[in-house]
Structure formats: structure tokens, C-alpha cells
């Protein structure tokens, strides 16, 4: 009989993520989101207050001694059901899930995390889901779809996500009622990261406020597809010529939409 491998997720919590949390906080400040902010799986809690002075936190793997030592913050919630009851579903304007999915060895549990975030997100809210894109270490051993890592004699787990892999995983888990786009590199978050909203209109507002031209281009392209589809095969050819072939597809699209709205 194979001995069960015990993994301690709390040992992956670190206190050096404050600078990245400051970047998230800067983004939320530009979007004027100050309340209903949730740090989902907050670890030692050293970054929570950087999101907003009113931010709440959830962390199921609490290491109280390390929280005190790192001058972190004890989570507001340690149980997901209590979180849902206390804050309410569809209640959060912003949710940050930073470097969490990569430390979970069970695929269904990863899906549960993503679905919980989706359920907590308000109709006019945005979530940032970020994961490690690489992992190194002399002690790592292949395990499931990632690696077992030794840390202080304890097993931890790391599963690196490529940008495409993370985007597809979140998109497939949440389904068609959510819009999932890559977090633009200009925001400086690092790793693999996606932004999640329930409304393309709100995502456009975010992209306009933060001057994310790439996201605006994607939204414009998606908005144009029905117009091309009406034209059948000829429309498909036009779509390819306008958006797939040339590097200036966004401008072509804008011109076409402007003519149709005149």
C-alpha cells in the first residue's frame, strides 16, 4: 500500500509579496475601488492592507506564529462558507488571488478556488488571478502535474502555469458568463496573470481608465464578429484580411465599426 504524501500548503506562504500587492493597490486606486476588496488566500497577510485600508482577507491555511513574526495580518475569514455568508455572493468589487493556484496539487480544488472567486465577484467587479510561471529547486520531484518541493523537511507543491495555460484554465472553469483576458505586462504584476470580469462593458471601462490598448483591441474585435458573421463565407474572408493577416487590425476594425454606426 502506497503511503499518502502529506503536503503543507501553509509552508509556501511568504512575506515578500508586499511590492506586488502595492501594484494591485495602485491599480484599484486608479479604478477608484476602495471598498468590497477581497484578498482571496491571503497567506501571511502582509500584502492585504496594500490593496485598500478596507480590504478583507480569506486564508484557510493559517500559520499564526509566522503571521506574527512577519508582522502580517490574521485573516478575516478562514472558512469559505463563512466568507460567503459574511460578505455575500456577487459582493466584491475587486478580488486578488496571488500565487495560489500553483501551490494546489488537486485540480478540482483549483477549480473550486476559481469558481468561488467567480461567485464572490460583483457584476461590476474585477478579479486578478496570478500564478507562478516557473519553478526551480534542487529538491523538486515530479508529482501529478507539477512538482513536490521540500521546505524545512515538509512537502510543498508547485505547478507552474504558462500564460496560455492559466487563461484557458480560468476561462474553461468559469464558462461563458465571464470575460477572461491576460493581465497586460505594463501593469507589472509578473508571473502568469489574468483579469476576470462579468461584463465586457466594465472591462472596457477598466481598459480605458488604465490605457490598456491591447485589451481594447481584443474587445473591439470580439464586438465586430457578429457583423462579419452575417456575411457568411465572404465575411470570414474579410475578417481574416482585416484582423488576422495585418498587424493594424485594431485600426481597421475601428474604421469599420465607425462606418456602420454612421
Walk me through the domains of the chain, giving residue ranges and CATH numbers: 9-210 (3.40.50.150), 216-261 (no CATH)
Residue range 189-199: mean pLDDT, rounded: 96
169 within 8 A of 110, measured Cβ to Cβ: yes
Q: How confident is the model at residue 4 (pLDDT cuts 50, 70, 90)?
A: confident
The residues pairing with 143 across neighbouring beta strands, listed in sequence order, are 146
pLDDT for the residue 54: 97
Tens digits of per-residue pLDDT, 92-110? 999 999 999 999 999 999 9
pLDDT for the residue 122: 98
Percent pLDDT > 90 in the chain is 74
pLDDT at residue 256 greater than cutoff 50: no
pLDDT at residue 236 greater than cutoff 60: no
Tens digits of per-residue pLDDT, 123-141? 999 999 999 999 887 789 9
In this predicted structure, which of 15-24, 179-188, 239-248 has the lowest mean pLDDT? 239-248
The pTM (predicted TM-score) of the whole model is 0.86
In this predicted structure, which of 70-74, 127-131, 145-149, 251-255 has the lowest mean pLDDT? 251-255
pLDDT for the residue 260: 42
pLDDT at residue 73 greater than cutoff 90: yes
pLDDT for the residue 222: 74
The pairing of beta strand 141-143 with beta strand 146-151:
antiparallel
Residue range 230-249: mean pLDDT, rounded: 51
pLDDT for the residue 139: 80
SS (H, E, C) 82-109: HHHHHHCCCCEEEEEEECCHHHCCCHHH
Percent pLDDT > 70 in the chain is 84
Whole-number Å distance between alpha carbons of 160 and 99: 10
Grid cell, residue 190, equals 509578473
158 within 8 A of 146, measured Cβ to Cβ: yes
Of 224, 261, 260, nearest to 243 by C-alpha is: 224
Only one residue has cell 482571496, namely 40
Q: How confident is the model at residue 225 (pLDDT cuts 50, 70, 90)?
A: low
**What does pLDDT average to over the chain?**
88
DSSP readout, the chain? -PPPPP--GGGG--S--HHHHHHHHHHHHHTT--SSEEEES-TTSSSHHHH-TT-EEE-SS--HHHHHHTT----SBSSHHHHHHHH-TT-EEEEEEES-GGG---HHHHHHHHHHHHHHEEEEEEEEEEE-S----TT-EEETTEEEEEETTEEEEE----HHHHHHHHHHHH-TTSEEEEPPGGG---SEEEEEES-HHHHHHHHHHTT-HHHHHHHHHHHHHHHHHTTHHHHHHHHIIIIIS-TTHHHHHHHHHHHHH-
Amino acid at each position: 500500500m502506497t503511503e499518502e504524501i502529506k503536503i503543507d500548503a501553509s509552508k509556501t506562504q511568504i512575506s515578500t509579496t508586499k511590492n506586488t500587492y502595492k501594484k494591485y493597490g495602485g491599480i484599484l486606486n486608479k479604478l477608484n475601488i476602495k471598498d468590497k476588496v477581497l484578498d482571496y488566500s491571503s497567506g501571511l497577510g502582509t500584502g492585504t492592507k496594500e490593496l485598500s485600508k478596507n480590504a478583507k482577507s480569506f486564508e484557510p491555511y493559517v500559520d499564526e506564529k509566522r503571521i506574527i513574526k512577519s508582522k502580517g495580518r490574521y485573516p478575516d475569514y478562514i472558512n469559505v462558507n463563512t466568507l460567503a455568508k459574511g460578505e455575500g455572493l456577487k459582493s466584491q468589487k475587486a478580488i486578488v488571488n496571488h500565487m495560489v493556484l500553483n501551490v494546489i496539487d488537486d485540480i478540482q480544488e483549483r477549480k473550486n478556488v476559481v469558481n468561488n472567486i467567480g461567485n464572490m465577484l460583483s457584476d461590476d467587479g474585477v478579479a486578478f488571478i496570478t500564478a507562478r510561471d516557473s519553478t526551480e529547486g534542487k529538491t523538486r520531484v515530479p508529482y501529478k502535474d507539477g512538482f513536490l518541493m521540500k521546505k524545512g523537511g515538509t512537502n510543498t507543491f508547485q505547478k507552474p502555469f504558462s500564460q496560455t495555460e492559466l487563461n484557458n484554465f480560468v476561462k474553461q472553469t468559469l464558462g461563458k458568463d465571464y470575460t477572461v483576458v491576460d493581465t497586460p505586462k505594463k501593469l507589472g504584476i509578473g508571473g502568469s496573470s489574468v483579469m476576470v470580469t462579468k461584463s465586457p462593458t466594465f472591462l472596457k471601462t477598466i481598459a480605458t481608465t488604465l490605457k490598456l490598448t491591447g485589451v481594447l483591441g481584443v474587445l473591439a474585435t470580439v464586438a465586430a464578429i457578429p457583423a462579419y458573421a452575417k456575411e457568411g463565407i465572404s465575411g470570414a474572408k474579410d475578417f481574416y484580411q482585416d484582423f488576422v493577416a495585418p498587424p493594424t487590425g485594431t485600426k481597421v476594425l475601428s474604421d469599420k465599426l465607425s462606418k456602420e454606426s454612421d
